[in-house]
Amino acid sequence: MYSVTIQMLILYPIKEKKRFIFETRSVCPSPASVQHRSCRLQHITHVELNRPEKRNAMSRAFWSEMVDCFNEIAVDAECRVVIFSGAGKLFTSGIDLMDMASDILQPEGDDQARVSWNLRRVITKYQETFSVIEKCPKPVIVAVHGPCIGGGVDLITACDIRLCTQDAWFQVKEVDIGLAADVGTLQRLPNVIGSRSLVSELALTARKMYSDEAKSCGLVSRVFPDKEAMMAGALEMAGEIAARSPVAVQGTKINLVYSRDHGVTEGLNYMATWNMSMLQTHDLMKSAQAAIEKKGPKEVIFSKL
Ligand SMILES: CCC/C=C/C=C/C(=O)SCCNC(=O)CCNC(=O)[C@H](O)C(C)(C)COP(=O)(O)OP(=O)(O)OC[C@H]1O[C@@H](n2cnc3c(N)ncnc32)[C@H](O)[C@@H]1OP(=O)(O)O
Pick the CATH number of 4-242 from 3.40.50.720, 3.40.190.10, 3.90.650.10, 3.90.226.10: 3.90.226.10
Q: In whole angstroms, give the CA distance from residue 292 to residue 294.
A: 5
Nearest CA, atom 40, ligand 1: 54
Lowest mean pLDDT among 29-33, 112-116, 202-206, 286-290: 29-33
Closest-CA residue to 143 (of 13, 56, 61)? 56
Q: How far is the CA of 15 from the centre of ligand 1 (A)?
A: 43
Nearest CA, atom 47, ligand 1: 96
Residue intervals of the chain classified under CATH 1.10.12.10 are 246-299
Q: What secondary structure letter does DSSP report for 263? A: -
- Give tens-digit pLDDT for 137-173: 999 999 999 999 999 999 999 999 999 999 999 999 9
Atom of ligand 1 nearest to the CA of 104: 1
Q: How far is the CA of 57 from the centre of ligand 1 (A)?
A: 6
Are 61 and 26 a contacting pair, CB within 8 Å? no
Closest-CA residue to 144 (of 206, 209, 205, 239)? 209
Ligand 1 near 94 CB (within 6 A): yes
pTM: 0.91
Comparison of pLDDT for 215 and 104, the residue scoring more:
215
Show the beta-strand stretches assigned E in 122-203.
Answer: 140-144, 147-149, 161-165, 169-171
Q: How far is the CA of 177 from the centre of ligand 1 (A)?
A: 12
Closest-CA residue to 70 (of 136, 152, 140, 167)? 136
Q: In whole angstroms, give the CA distance from residue 141 to residue 225.
A: 18
Comparison of pLDDT for 191 and 101, the residue scoring more:
191
Residue intervals of the chain classified under CATH 3.90.226.10 are 4-242
Q: Which of helix, strand or coil describes residue 286?
A: helix
Query: Which mutation among 55, 102, 104, 172 tests ligand 1's pocket best, with the greatest number of atoms within 8 A of CB?
Result: 55
- Give tens-digit pLDDT for 23-32: 454 444 444 5
Comparison of pLDDT for 22 and 50, the residue scoring more:
50
Are 96 and 60 a contacting pair, CB within 8 Å? yes
φ, ψ of residue 101 in degrees (nearest 5): -55, -40
Ligand 1 near 151 CB (within 6 A): yes
Mean pLDDT of the chain: 89
Closest-CA residue to 99 (of 60, 151, 126, 135)? 60
Tell me which fold the domain 246-299 belongs to. Lyase 2-enoyl-coa Hydratase; Chain  A, domain 2 (1.10.12)
Ligand 1 near 173 CB (within 6 A): yes
Ligand 1 near 98 CB (within 6 A): yes
Q: How far is the CA of 28 from the centre of ligand 1 (A)?
A: 23
Measuring CA to CA, how many Å separate 112 from each of 42, 106, 271? 52, 12, 45
To 10 degrees, what angle do helices 112-135 and 60-75 make? 40
For residue 217, what are the β-bridge partners? none
Active-site residue set: 95, 151, 154, 174, 182
Query: Which mutation among 93, 106, 208 tests ligand 1's pocket best, with the greatest number of atoms within 8 A of CB?
Result: 93
Compute the average pLDDT of residues 178-204. Answer: 97
